[in-house]
Amino acid sequence: MLERPNVLGYLLMMPAGFIILFFIAYPFGWGVWMSLTNKQIGMAWSQVKFVGLGNYVDLVTKDAIFRGTVWNSFAYTGVATLVKWALGMWLAVLLNRMVRLQRIVRAAVLLPWIVPTVLSTIAFLWIFDPDFSVINWTLRHFYSWMGWGYFRGPLWLANPTLALASVTFVNIWRGTPFFAISFLAGLQTISPELYEAAMIDGANGWQRFWHVTLPGIKPIMIVVLVFSVIVTFSDFQIVYVLTRGGPANSTHLFATYAYQVAMVGSRLGLGAAISLFMLPFLAVVIIFQLVYLRREKA
Amino acid sequence: MAKKKASSKRGITRRDFVKIAGMAGASVVGAGVLGKAPAFAQERSLHFLLWKNFSPPADVEILRQGEEWSKQSKVKVKIEQINANDIPARSAAAIESKQGPDIIQFFHNWQNQYGDSLVDVTDICTALESKYGGYIPYAKADAMLNGKFNAVPHTIVPNIYVARKSYLKAAGTAQWPKTWEELRREGKKWKANGHPIGQTVGHTFGDAVDFTYPYLWSYGVTERDEKGRITINSKQTLEALKFFKALWDDAMDPAGAGWDDSANNRAFLAGSVAATNNAPSIYLTASNQVILDEKGEPLVNDILHVANPAGPAGIFHYHYSQQLAIPKYSKNADIAKEFIRWLMDKEQFTKYLRRGQAYQAAALKDYMKDAMWEMFPALKPYRDHLLEAQHVGWKGAADASAARVVQNYVLIDMLANVATGKMTPDESLKWAEGQLKTIYGT
């Protein structure tokens, strides 16, 4: 029986199936259930009450931090993804043209993405320090050198707007190499003959980019964008290390606020509901990707 | 046949693979069902989770004591130290999964969130109380829930103001301000000289709480009354918030909104701020590392330890308590209790406090008379103000909800909202009331 391809096929798929079932489907189902209860850490299940959509309603109607978190998450993801896309594309085009020191430069470009996030973010903790920051030190000396008097420099992590901008910047710094290298891989699949033909037809640089480069890397671009949106939207480490959601809750994202409410504040049910608020948006993004990929295949 | 031969040449057939995989799987399952843990794994051991101390010699001593008890009791003691800000999540994961450290150090009254999941240690605490002159009241309140001790009060990290004498003098401040109004007036001068007051209102476990709670209490602000009713929406709170905005703008360092517990230490030691509310760690670092001031003199000679200024309702401090709890999931609760009893014995505990250089005070009153305070006379003001504090959630109980208010930085953010200009005092008050109602479920 095992010699029959369909039986063996299912058998070989079983380990992966079990992994998906136990490590993805089961925790997800458990999370959904928990979000419908008043479960707290340490609370016996016999005491746990089903509250229906109560947690979700409370978050939307009563929790101002949550409403701020929704705004922060969309602003963070939107700005970071757009800038990473633009910078990644620019970097990829440059790298594609580079002839000398190609390998070394490509390896160097990948560094921010390779270094563990927590480690590089701790470095940014120093870079954004109001008094000991290298940026503020440079600005202070520049002001003094220009004879403009004393300038302390921006309070990167103490001002609510700047703090959100700072955590977004770190995400851009870290994520751009992924865009660049992926786009570079896409660029290298485009035949040089297409560019030659476009040039013969009189296309300028922008037209060549718009009509040859962009369509050529569109499939890979969609995959990279979708992947980046998912990862950025559910980001945790950068905000946790730099601000812990502060100052005055100005930098909380879904993941950091869920962590604060569930793991630190022990309200697991409410924390699960915060996390699951990410689901509809991420589902839309994933469905968009699947539909696109299916259409491309067809 | 030809096919079979071809696959044999590649080394393994599908049939072989399935057989091998089946045998491997069966042996793993068999080992789990029939096998027993090897004998060496049955040796008893104890896992103790606590913070990385701001006074490093205290860490050296607790590790030494762990080794000493290990030799005496033949129980392997594993002492794990992590950043204090990470203890809540670590303990939450342990309590919920019912596995992890046998003893966990909690701050404020964090452990009351998991009251039902902790071993009742009333027996240890009552014995210690009667032996060492009773507990300091707020430390006791923080360690109790529903009339029982769910953690053993261990130490207290006291917090008062640390100031630079020379900076105050240069601005013409003859004596430390006695009221918040005076602090604002004098602080304005210090700030004009480039040395503001450093104060965090960020998301961090210690200094932000240590300032926020006593500041609000000194204005007569409480989150609940004795009957548990939410009392934050009062004209005292509004007055406190309005004044805080003025104090922040006039005298404080705006960078404080983004600081953690170590940032004000660095700022003070670098000469960036004139004063900050802090534990003895600034003094100890300046002393142990022989940090010099701008004139090349030892910085410790320029450090002043003084009380919090008074508000309309008087002087208040907040010194955070630290207590040791044993989760019910622990299979070693009996030896964990023995270890805590041994740690709390005068011989060990005195050494721990003294090696820590008076960074922490004891939660037991008798230790206020300990010779340690004579060894570090500059830190005596910390002892002198040790009793002028309350527990979190005061005037209500230090219950699970009061812990959640601290853990979610509600009162701290109420101040941060106005400090950063994110909200007006009225808006911030309403925001905080909404948060408290959600947490207290009213």
**How many residues make up chain B in this entry?**
442
CA angle A255, A259, A264 (to 5 degrees): 165
Q: What is the mean pLDDT of residues A220-227?
A: 92
pLDDT of residue A58: 93
pLDDT over threshold 60, residue B37: no
Residue B413 C-alpha, separation from nearest chain A C-alpha, in angstroms: 5
Considering only CA atoms, which of A294, A265, A77 is closest in space to residue A167? Answer: A77
Question: What does pLDDT average to over chain A?
Answer: 92
Closest-CA residue to B182 (of B73, B106, B174, A157): B174
Partner-chain contact A247 B420, CB within 8 Å? yes
Closest residue in B to A130 (Cα) is B255
| DSSP conformational letter for A4 | S
Closest Cα to residue B323, out of B405, B412, B398, B211? B398
Mean pLDDT calculated for residue range B27-43: 43
Q: What are the chain B neighbours of A243 within 8 Å (beta carbons)?
A: 202-203, 258
Asked if residue B27 has pLDDT above 60, the reply is no
Residue of A37, A150, A266, A274 best to disrupt the B interface, most CBs of B under 10 A: A266
What's the mean pLDDT in A52-76?
95
Contacts with B253 from chain A: Cβ below 8 Å: 130
Say if A192 falls within a structural domain: yes
Q: B45 to chain A nearest CA, in Å?
A: 24
DSSP B308: P
Contact between B158 and B361 under an 8 Å Cβ cutoff? The reply is: yes
Report whether pLDDT(B433) > 90. Answer: yes
Structural tokens at position B424:
């007006």
Interatomic CA distance for residues B14 and B36, integer angstroms: 34
For the stretch B92-104, pLDDT in tens is 999 999 999 999 9
Nearest residue in chain A measured CA to CA from B260: A243
User: In the sheet where B152-157 sits, what is the strand order?
Assistant: B76-82, B45-51, B103-107, B320-325, B152-157, B361-362
Which pLDDT does position B87 carry in this prediction? 95
What pTM value is reported for the model? 0.87
Taking the alpha carbons of A252, A256, A258, A259 in that order, is the dihedral positive or negative? negative
pLDDT of B38 over the 60 cut: no
The yes/no answer on whether domain B45-158+319-384 falls in CATH 3.20.20.10 is: no
Write out the two tokens for B140: 């006791």
CA-based nearest distance B101→chain A, Å: 15
Give the residue carrying structure tokens 């009225």.
B426
User: Is residue B140 predicted with pLDDT exceeding 60?
Assistant: yes
Q: Report the distance separating Cα A74 and Cα A79, nearest Å.
A: 8
In a domain, A226, yes or no: yes
Q: Provide, as residue numbers in chain A, all residues whose Cβ is less than 8 Å from the Cβ of B408.
A: 260-261, 264-265
Residue of B87, B199, B212, B422 to mutate for A, most A C-beta atoms under 10 A: B422
* pLDDT of B18 higher than 90: no
In chain A, % helix, strand, coil (3-state, to 5) comes to 75, 0, 25
**Chain A residues closer than 8 Å to B269 by CB:** none
pLDDT for B35? 39
Query: Residue B40: pLDDT above 50?
Result: no
Residues from chain A that touch B15, judged by Cβ atoms under 8 A, are 2-3
> In the structure encoding, which two tokens stand for residue B384, read together?
């002198």
Q: What is the spatial distance between Cα A169 and Cα A153, in angstroms, rounded to a whole number?
A: 17
Task: Tell whether A217 is covered by a domain.
Answer: yes
Average pLDDT over residues A111-132: 92
B215 with B181: CB under 8 angstroms?
A: no
More confident residue, B57 or A1: B57
What is the pLDDT of chain B when averaged over all its residues?
Answer: 91
Number of domains in chain A: 1
Q: Is A2 on the interface with B (CB under 8 A)?
A: yes
| Residue from B335, B328, B326 nearest B43 by CA | B335
In CATH, what number is assigned to the domain containing residue A284? Answer: 1.10.3720.10
What residues of A are in contact with residue B407 (Cβ under 8 Å)?
Answer: 260, 264-266
The structure tokens listed for A151 are 């300038």
Highest mean pLDDT among A131-140, B13-22, B339-348: B339-348
Provide, rounded to the nearest whole percent, the portion of chain B with pLDDT above 90. 89
Q: Residue B145 belongs to what H/E stretch? A: strand B144-145
Reported as a pLDDT band with limits 50, 70 and 90, residue B228 is very high
The CA distance from B256 to the nearest CA of chain A, in Å, is 7
Identify the closest residue of chain B to A11 by CA–CA distance: B18
**What letter does residue A247 receive in the DSSP assignment?**
S
pLDDT of A85 reads: 96
Whole-angstrom distance, CA of residue B102 vs CA of residue B331: 8
pLDDT at B190: 98
SS3 B287: helix
Q: Is the dihedral of CA A15, A16, A17, A21 positive or negative?
A: positive
Kindly state whether residue A105 falls inside one of the protein's structural domains. Answer: yes
Tell me the DSSP string of B360-415: SEESBGGGGGSTHHHHSGGGHHHHHTTTSB--TTTTS---HHHHHHHHTTHHHHHH
In sequence order, what are the beta bridge partners of A236? none
Q: What are phi and psi of B81, to 5 degrees?
A: -120, 130
Predicted confidence (pLDDT) at residue A138 exceeds the cutoff of 50: yes
ipTM score assigned to the predicted complex = 0.85
- Kindly indicate the confidence band of residue B15, based on its pLDDT and cuts at 50, 70 and 90: low
> In terms of C-beta density within 10 A (0-12 exposed, 13-18 middle, 19 or more buried), how is residue B291 classed?
middle
| Site from A2, A12, A131 to mutate, B interface, most B CB atoms within 10 angstroms | A131
Contact residues, chain A, for B399 at CB < 8 Å: none
Residue B10 above 60 pLDDT?
Answer: no
Q: Searching chain B, which residue's CA lies closest to the CA of residue A151?
A: B194
- Residue A57 pLDDT > 60: yes
Q: Does A259 touch chain B if contact means CB atoms closer than 8 Å?
A: yes
A-interface mutation test, from B203, B328, B433, most A Cβ less than 10 A away:
B203
Residue A236 has pLDDT above 50, yes or no: yes
Helix (H, G, I), strand (E, B) or coil at A126: helix
Question: Which residue from B381, B309, B306, B323 is spatially nearest to B138, judged by alpha carbons?
Answer: B323
Alpha helix ranges (H) inside B254-307: 263-269, 281-288
Do the bridges between strand B275-278 and strand B160-164 make them parallel or antiparallel, or are there none, so unpaired?
antiparallel
Question: Domain span at residue A106?
Answer: 65-297
Residue B278 pairs in a beta bridge with B160
H or E stretch covering B436: helix B425-440
Q: Which two tokens stand for residue B243?
A: 């004044």
Contact A248 B93 (CB under 8 A): no
Q: How confident is the model at residue B29 (pLDDT cuts 50, 70, 90)?
A: very low
Query: Distance from A259 to chain B by nearest Cα, in Å?
Result: 8
Q: Taking CA B139 as the corner, what is the angle to CA B136 and CA B140, rounded to the nearest 5 degrees?
A: 85
CATH class of B160-318+408-440: alpha beta
**CA B42/CA B45 separation, integer angstroms:** 9
Other Cβ atoms less than 10 A from the Cβ of B15: the count is: 13
Residue-level pLDDT at B8? 43
pLDDT score, position B13: 55
Return the number of other C-beta atoms located less than 10 Å from residue A99's C-beta.
5
Domain boundaries, chain B: 45-158+319-384, 160-318+408-440
For B328-341, what is the mean pLDDT? 97
Lowest-pLDDT choice from A49-58, A64-73, A79-88, A97-106: A97-106
Tell if the CB–CB gap between A155 and B404 is shorter than 8 Å: no
Beta strands in B316-368 (DSSP E): 320-325, 361-362
Instruction: Tell whether the model's pLDDT for residue A267 goes beyond 90.
Output: yes
Residue of B nearest to A55 (CA): B438
CB atoms within 10 A of CB A161: 10
Calpha distance B285→B299 (Å, rounded): 10
